């Protein structure tokens, strides 16, 4: 991993959505650092093709994943056993903790192989995350559109274009009132890795 400056760029953008607290640190890592970190993560992490049962059929989920944390995690009926974070993940976690002011003990890692990989509408509201969780997601590789829509009401949906080196933070009541997704697209995007740091309570 490249040497990173001791003082990260703390510039932050706030998104003024009602009943939500969403912000983005656009330069958690520089463009050059992000290229190097992407390659390291691709080889360092134990990427797996998970499968879910849908209408009685077993289907692969449209991305590769791995879970690193102190306890097991169940997410959309997928069970992921506890496994220790790698030294690289620990180092990235410290940067994310410095910037966001929260501490994390686990990370769900996603590898989107191309523009047809995706994650469907959901909220990160599993019981293990406690109420009002802080979820910090660090992006590397190609740009992808991250969409928000309210669970109900008249508030408008909105999109954020997530780029390499961006750190998106969702906290407060966001998971109670909003859903998020990474939609499939027809525009070539290249590969993308997203690390979503969380605090889980067992
Ligand atoms: O890839 C992303 O930016 C989002 C992933 C996500 O929402 C999740 O893992 O819960
Ligand atoms: Mn999520």
Q: Which domains does the chain possess?
A: 17-198 (2.60.120.590)
What is the token pair recorded at 162? Answer: 């997530």
What is residue 2's predicted lDDT score, i.e. its pLDDT? 59
Name the nearest CA neighbour of 146 among 118, 175, 171.
118
Residue 5 has pLDDT above 70, yes or no: no
At 55-94, the pLDDT tens digits run 999 999 999 999 999 988 887 778 889 999 999 999 999 9
Query: Do 170 and 15 contact (CB within 8 A), yes or no?
Result: no
Q: Is the CB of 108 under 6 A from ligand 1?
A: yes
Look at ligand 1, atom 1, and give the residue with the nearest C-alpha: 194
Q: Is the CB of 137 under 6 A from ligand 1?
A: yes
Distance in angstroms (rounded) separating the CA atoms of residues 105 and 201: 9
Q: Is the CB of 129 under 6 A from ligand 1?
A: no
Buried b (16+ CB within 10 A) or exposed e, 152-176: eeebeeeebebbbbbbbbbbeebbe
Q: What is the mean pLDDT of residues 124-136?
A: 95
What is the token pair recorded at 122? Answer: 């959901």
SS3 content of the chain, % helix, strand, coil (to 5): 15, 40, 45
What is residue 73's predicted lDDT score, i.e. its pLDDT? 87
Query: Do 164 and 140 contact (CB within 8 A), yes or no?
Result: yes
Q: 159 in helix, strand or coil?
A: strand
C-alpha 1 – ligand 2 centre gap (Å): 26
What is residue 182's predicted lDDT score, i.e. its pLDDT? 98
Q: How far is CA 105 from CA 14, 57, 108, 129, 198, in A?
A: 25, 34, 11, 11, 6
Q: What is the mean pLDDT of residues 113-139?
A: 96
Residue 30 has pLDDT above 70, yes or no: yes
- Provide the 10 A C-beta neighbour count for residue 189: 20
What is residue 3's predicted lDDT score, i.e. its pLDDT? 60
How much of the chain exceeds pLDDT 70, in percent? 97
What is residue 12's predicted lDDT score, i.e. its pLDDT? 96
What is residue 54's predicted lDDT score, i.e. its pLDDT? 86
Query: Do 134 and 197 contact (CB within 8 A), yes or no?
Result: no
At 86-123, the pLDDT tens digits run 999 999 999 999 999 999 999 999 999 999 999 999 99
Determine phi and psi for 52, rounding to 5 degrees: -125, 160
C-alpha 49 – ligand 1 centre gap (Å): 16
Which residues are in the CB-under-5-Å shell of ion ligand 2? 124
Q: Is the CB of 80 under 6 A from ligand 1?
A: no
Average pLDDT of every residue of the chain: 94
Distance in angstroms (rounded) separating the CA atoms of residues 160 and 166: 11
Determine phi and psi for 92, rounding to 5 degrees: -65, -40
Q: Is the CB of 119 under 6 A from ligand 1?
A: yes
Task: Indicate the pLDDT class of residue 1, thresholds 50, 70 and 90.
Answer: low
Atom of ligand 1 nearest to the CA of 139: 3
């Amino acid at each position: 991993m490249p040497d990173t400056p001791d003082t990260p760029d703390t510039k932050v953008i706030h998104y003024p959505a009602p009943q939500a607290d969403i912000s983005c640190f656009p330069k958690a890592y520089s463009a050059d650092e992000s290229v190097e970190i992407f390659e390291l993560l691709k080889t360092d992490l134990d990427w797996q093709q998970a499968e879910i049962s849908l209408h009685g059929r077993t289907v692969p989920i449209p991305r590769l994943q791995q879970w690193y944390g102190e306890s097991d995690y169940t997410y959309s009926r997928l069970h992921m056993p506890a496994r220790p974070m790698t030294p690289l993940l620990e180092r990235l976690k410290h940067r994310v903790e410095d910037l966001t002011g929260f501490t994390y003990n686990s990370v769900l890692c996603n590898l989107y192989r191309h523009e047809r990989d995706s994650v469907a509408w959901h909220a990160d509201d599993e019981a293990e995350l406690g109420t009002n969780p802080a979820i910090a997601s660090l992006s590397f590789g190609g740009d992808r559109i991250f969409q928000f829509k309210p669970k109900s009401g008249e508030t408008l949906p909105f999109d954020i274009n997530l780029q390499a080196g961006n750190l998106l933070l969702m906290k407060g009541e966001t998971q109670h009132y909003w859903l998020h997704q990474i939609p499939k697209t027809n525009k070539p995007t290249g590969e993308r890795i997203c690390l979503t740091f969380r605090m889980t309570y067992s």
